[in-house]
């Protein structure tokens, strides 16, 4: 049977996590829309090469489920950062970055893709 008492007692704990969710949503929405505006402008004025790269990026972001994007960014970004760091002679400790950073980066990029499509529609 459902334990209603437990539902009530676990409410405050779940509500306590609202700031984390809202932080991810707001930060990624704001940066995502700014990036999206940039992508939309690039694609509107058809700047060579960058425009094509943006088109592929938008298509990829819209075509791949968020779960897979999160996995890819969580496993790929540390490698990219580390290689970049060793390339310029720095030792970057990736473990310092909390997981939420990867989540925000992924959500931002996803938001940018969707926002650029919305803005592009408005321009035409």
Partner 1 sequence: MKNTFRPETIPGYIPKILQAFPVTIEILFVSLIISLIIGVLVAKFSLSNEKWLKRIAHFYIAFMRGIPTLVLIFLIYLGLPQLALSFGINLSKISKITFIIICLSLGSSANMAEMMRTSYLAVDKGQREAAYSVGMKGFSAFYRIILPQAFTIAIPTLGNNIIILFKETSLAFSISVIDLMGKARAISSASYGANKLEVYIAAGIVFWVICIILENLSKFFEKIYTKSRRKVAI
In Å, how far are 5, 13, 15, 24, 31 from 39, measured between CA atoms? Answer: 50, 39, 36, 21, 12
Q: Is 101 in the site for partner 1 (CB under 8 A)?
A: no
Encoding tokens for residue 50? 């960058």
Tell me whether residue 11 or residue 47 sits nearer to partner 1 (CB atom).
11
Tell me whether residue 26 or residue 60 sits nearer to partner 1 (CB atom).
60
Q: How many residues bind partner 1 (CB under 8 A)?
A: 21
Instruction: Spell out the residues 6+ positions from residue 60 whose beta carbon is closer than 8 angstroms to its own.
Output: 113
Report the residue from 94, 100, 101, 118 that binds partner 1 according to the rule CB under 8 A: 94
Which residues ranging from 28 to 67 are in contact with partner 1 (CB under 8 A)? 59-60, 62-67
For the CB of residue 123, give the shortest distance to partner 1 in the complex, in Å.
18
20: left (phi > 0), else alpha (psi -120 to 50), else beta? alpha
For the CB of residue 80, give the shortest distance to partner 1 in the complex, in Å.
9
What DSSP string runs through 48-69?
TTHHHHHHHHHHHHHHS-HHHH
Q: Which residues bind partner 1 (CB under 8 A)?
A: 1-2, 59-60, 62-69, 71-72, 75-76, 78-79, 82-83, 94
């Amino acid at each position: 049977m459902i334990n209603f008492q437990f539902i009530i007692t676990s409410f405050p704990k779940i509500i306590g996590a609202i700031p984390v969710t809202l932080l991810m949503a707001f930060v990624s929405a704001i940066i995502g829309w700014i990036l999206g505006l940039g992508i939309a402008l690039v694609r509107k004025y058809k700047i060579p090469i960058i425009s094509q790269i943006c088109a592929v990026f938008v298509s990829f972001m819209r075509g791949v489920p968020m779960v897979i994007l999160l996995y890819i960014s969580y496993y790929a970004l540390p490698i990219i950062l580390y290689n970049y760091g060793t390339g310029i002679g720095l030792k970057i400790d990736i473990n310092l970055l909390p997981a939420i950073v990867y989540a925000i980066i992924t959500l931002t990029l996803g938001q940018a893709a969707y926002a650029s499509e919305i803005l592009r529609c408005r321009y035409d």
